[in-house]
Amino acid sequence: MNVLVIGSGGREHTICWSLAKSPKVDKIYCLPGNGGISKIAQCVPISVMDFDAIIDFVDSHKDIELTVVAPDDPLAAGLVDRLEAAGHRAFGPRANAAIIEASKAFSKYLMKKYGIPTARYEEFSDYDKAVEYLAKAKYPLVVKADGLALGKGVIICNTREEGLQAAKDMMIDSKFKDAGKTVIVEEFMVGQEVSILSFCDGKTIVPMVNARDHKRAYDGDKGLNTGGMGTFSPSAIYTSEVEKEVLDNIILPTVEAMNKEGRTFKGVLYFGLMLTDEGAKVVEYNARFGDPETQVVLPRLKTDLADIFNAVVDGQLDKIDIQWSDEACVCVVMASGGYPESYEKGKEITIGELPDDVLLFHAGTAVKDGKLVTSGGRVLGVTAMGKDIAEARKKAYAAVKNISFDGAFCRSDIGIKK
Ligand code: AMP
Ligand code: GLY
């Protein structure tokens, strides 16, 4: 079958790579794709938010049997609904279920209503009420924009001044546009974070192997928050006891809650968890594969990804036995100098000899005049498997040494924590 993947990052490269391994997949299209994806898929320069152009493209390519919508924005804006309305098969949640990521006010309401463990919170749409609360609250606390804000709408506030400033930035100065009109003020939680992605067809939910992200720009979790500087899988902190607790108290209740709300979730449901002294709690839900978690999770998948996508779309996930490799996987992100603040693009990328078992997932790359150049903040996800994290880590960092571009930087401590 032929498949269309919507998106252009490291996550989408990994999805395309995994699909390309399937004997059932003949051809992959990717909109818009990137320099690495173009080696395994036909990339077409259509924006992920240009729904009319996407529908025209799928209408006119009768060979496309499935469209996989990977990024948050088109999911939240209803691309899956549009595709289905036009008679096409699509993998991903409809807008009424993607809201679990797109509105923190919704996800907090859901968790409160159904008793799913998460940080205690208050919601404010009225600035004066938020100020009144923040002036008297105990710190630290966390102020979050309700809507999608490119992962930047979460501010950890240590003082009253920071709390009031965050509310002003979001609610008065519209730093995150409409996404910050409503804010959530949350209790500050302490604990280790772990990501659980899961396949869900609305009835059956199958968690994937766990992964840990590194959100801060520099070693030792210093510097600004980024889209993710590296990942590893599996983590030893996610023991089988924690796994069972999370399945019973968080994963299964979330699927049931969404069904009860008339918002059946089909696609990948991502649980961002914090393991606190009071047990595992939800930090956030995402309605999609995580990036760069996908880069370390899908290489461990032994089952055909195309079969899983089809089973999810057809509501047949209970018929598939999803298998994982026992090997560990580490992904080190190479980023452009200056990221996550301003950075230059168009730097030529030189890739030396890489061992066969290193996977190079492109995030922000493009091919210009026949040369591979940088085109984003996160440029490459250098990924390796090994018998354990230490071995995978060694291979990934050895490969990093053979890749260069002007201003390149990466963290040197991916995979060191447990
Ligand atoms: P989010 O975009 O919701 O994943 O938040 C980004 C990061 O902020 C998370 O990965 C956590 O490290 C941190 N964070 C979010 N909410 C809280 C909280 N209630 N307590 C402590 N840290 C948090
Ligand atoms: N790695 C976190 C995310 O995809 O949102």
pLDDT in tens, 274-333: 999 999 999 999 999 999 999 999 999 999 999 999 999 999 999 999 999 999 999 999
Q: Annotate 323-389 with DSSP letters as a single string.
A: -B-SSEEEEEEEE-TTTTS-----PBPEE----TTEEEEESSEEEETTEEEE-SSEEEEEEEEESSH
Q: What SS3 state is found at 171? A: helix
Mean predicted lDDT score pLDDT of the chain: 97
Query: Does the structure show a pLDDT above 80 at 148?
Result: yes
List of residues 6+ apart from 365 with CB closer than 8 A = 34, 35, 36, 349, 372, 373, 374, 375, 376, 379, 380
Q: Is the CB of 193 under 6 A from ligand 1?
A: yes
Query: Average pLDDT of 370-378?
Result: 96
List 50's β-bridge partners, or say none: none
Alpha carbon distance 256, 265 (integer Å):
10
Alpha carbon distance 73, 209 (integer Å):
25
Query: Does the structure show a pLDDT above 80 at 381?
Result: yes
Query: Average pLDDT of 196-210?
Result: 98
**Which amino acids bring their CB within 6 angstroms of ligand 2?**
151, 213, 228, 286, 290-291, 293
**Cα–Cα nearest to 147, from 118, 177, 173:** 177
Query: Does the structure show a pLDDT above 90 at 84?
Result: yes
Let me know: does 392 contact 328? Beta carbons within 8 Å. Answer: yes
Q: How sure is the predictor about 342, in pLDDT bands with cuts at 50, 70 and 90?
A: very high
Where does 328-404 sit in CATH, by number? 3.90.600.10
Query: Does the structure show a pLDDT above 90 at 368?
Result: yes
Q: Is the CB of 148 under 6 A from ligand 1?
A: no
For ligand 2, atom 2, the nearest C-alpha belongs to 290
The alpha carbon of 66 is separated from its chain's Cα centroid by a whole number of angstroms, namely 21
As annotated, the residues of the chain forming the CATH 3.90.600.10 domain(s) are 328-404
Query: Does the structure show a pLDDT above 90 at 231?
Result: yes
Q: What SS3 state is found at 192? A: strand
Query: Average pLDDT of 79-91?
Result: 98
**Sign of torsion, CA 277 283 286 291?**
negative
List of residues 6+ apart from 88 with CB closer than 8 A = 58, 64, 67
Mutate to test the pocket of ligand 2, among 291, 331, 333, 361 (most ligand atoms within 8 A of CB): 291
Alpha carbon distance 196, 206 (integer Å):
10
For ligand 2, atom 4, the nearest C-alpha belongs to 290
Q: Which atom of ligand 2 is nearest the CA belonging to 288?
A: 4
Distances (CA, A) of 359 to 55, 123, 179, 296, 338: 32, 43, 36, 10, 25
172-178, Cβ contacts within 8 angstroms, sequence gap of 24 or more: 172/127, 176/145, 176/147, 176/149, 176/152, 178/147
Query: Does the structure show a pLDDT above 80 at 151?
Result: no
Q: How sure is the predictor about 149, in pLDDT bands with cuts at 50, 70 and 90?
A: confident
Query: Does the structure show a pLDDT above 90 at 65?
Result: yes
Alpha carbon distance 188, 403 (integer Å):
39
Query: Does the structure show a pLDDT above 90 at 152?
Result: no
Q: Is the CB of 283 under 6 A from ligand 1?
A: yes
Q: What SS3 state is found at 396? A: helix
Q: Is the CB of 158 under 6 A from ligand 1?
A: no
As annotated, the residues of the chain forming the CATH 3.40.50.20 domain(s) are 2-94
As a whole number of Å, the CA-based R_g of the chain is 21
As annotated, the residues of the chain forming the CATH 3.30.1490 domain(s) are 126-181
Q: How sure is the predictor about 150, in pLDDT bands with cuts at 50, 70 and 90?
A: confident
Alpha carbon distance 126, 103 (integer Å):
17
pLDDT of residue 354: 92
Distance in Å, CA 165 to ligand 1 centroid: 18
Report the CATH fold assignment for 192-319: D-amino Acid Aminotransferase; Chain A, domain 1 (3.30.470)
Distances (CA, A) of 13 to 111, 126, 295: 33, 42, 9
Let me know: does 211 contact 235? Beta carbons within 8 Å. Answer: yes
Determine whether domain 126-181 maps to CATH 3.30.1490.
yes
As annotated, the residues of the chain forming the CATH 3.30.470.20 domain(s) are 192-319
Could you tell me what percent of the chain has a pLDDT over 90? 97
**Cα–Cα nearest to 213, from 273, 147, 257:** 273
Report the CATH fold assignment for 2-94: Rossmann fold (3.40.50)
Distance in Å, CA 106 to ligand 2 centroid: 19
Distance in Å, CA 283 to ligand 1 centroid: 6
**Cα–Cα nearest to 296, from 274, 328, 250:** 328
Q: How sure is the predictor about 69, in pLDDT bands with cuts at 50, 70 and 90?
A: very high
pLDDT in tens, 180-190: 999 999 999 99
Ligand nearest to the CA of 290: 2
Q: What b/e readout covers 112-128, taking b as 16+ CB neighbours within 10 angstroms?
A: eeeebbbbebbbbeeee
Query: Average pLDDT of 57-77?
Result: 97
pLDDT of residue 357: 87
